[in-house]
Structure 1
């Protein structure tokens, strides 16, 4: 059964922030040079080194501000309300969390999550079945990591991601094939860790 980020067990997971700073990823992991915690950066570099020749990781987003996270929540919640008139607050939270996390448990806000894909040696996107950030509604559920209805190449590329990223200690959010994290509350819950390593980081305060 898929554990969603709205699950009370995620919020109840203990947090003992390790204090690792945010760093920019090296250029070979994508031109965005996303900001992530050092523990995650090290694991992404390790995972990338395990890819076959001619295939590279491209990270498109890492740390996300509190304001940006809230903006995504608000926009997607509004879309869902339009699709489901009269939806309850609890059901709205659950549906919203398939695509964007509540702020207090959001891996991106903690610098503990990345959105990424695979590219070839020329930097062209490989087939992963859907674009990054395709909602469940836009993709007819094909954004789920284990979704049916994607081609053999897309399935193989998703399995390659799982092999190298899982081998480096990251976990996937199963409603988004592109979302991987290390050290956040979701990671701690699904791996059985005693506590999360990274909580929300406000860059304005950190600076």
Structure 2
């Protein structure tokens, strides 16, 4: 499993294509959830190419199933704040080695210098039914915040057949549009960032911090 703290990630060059951020709400087939709303509304934006791919992924879903986006773009300041908070949580649990703190923190919060959300390249998302109810994914989005780390990995053992099927459905529609999953978080998918480039073998990231 490659974590975002892996030195190979930061070594990936960035050749930013210059695409602007786009508003997720402009795609009617995708629902935007307000739980991570920030003052400037950044959470509801991703790069234009990412949004286009999300729209195409949504078209691949069965009738009555929709994508529910929890968060898109995130400022570097907010990313750094979240990383520091998670490091402190780990420090209180007894971990003191700086390298180990960084490694374990990056399982759930990216170091700011390589963060896919800061590039507008990542989305945290899940699936909902026609009534807007979230499907059973075997764990909640951002479950690491509530101590439910066990269910956070995409391939977490012990999932019910229903949860496994729903995760696989989400994965199929996104992978067919070029997205990659961060394997410690079933809900986190990205396209065009450094992590994506490393996983797919692309020569460079097409989206850098914005």
Range of TM-score over shorter length = over 0.9
Which aligned segments of 4 or more residues in structure 1 are displaced greater than 3 angstroms? none
1:63–1:52 distance in 2 versus 1, CA, 3 Å: same
Q: In 2, are the aligned partners of 1:136 and 1:143 still within 8 Å (CA)?
A: no
5+ residue gaps in structure 1? 202-207
Given candidates 107, 122, 130, the residue that maps to 2:116 is 107
Does structure 2 retain, via aligned residues, the 8 Å contact 1:29–1:59?
yes
Q: Give 1:136 deviation, angstroms.
A: 8.3
TM-score (norm 2): 0.91
CA contact (8 A) 1:136 1:142 kept: no
Aligned to 2:131: 122
Paired with 1:89 and 1:197, the residues of 2 have a C-alpha distance of 30
- The answer as to whether partners of 2:29 and 2:55 remain within 8 angstroms in 1 is no
What is the 5 A alignment of 1:143-154?
143-154=152-163
Q: What CA distance in whole angstroms lies between the structure 2 residues aligned with 1:128 and 1:103?
A: 28
TM-score normalised by the chain length of structure 1: 0.93
Residue matched to 1:70: 80
Q: Which residue of structure 1 lines up, in the alignment, with residue 147 of structure 2?
A: 138
* Displacement of 1:31: 3.0
What is the CA distance between 1:141 and its match in structure 2? 2.2
Corresponding residue SS for 2:14:
coil
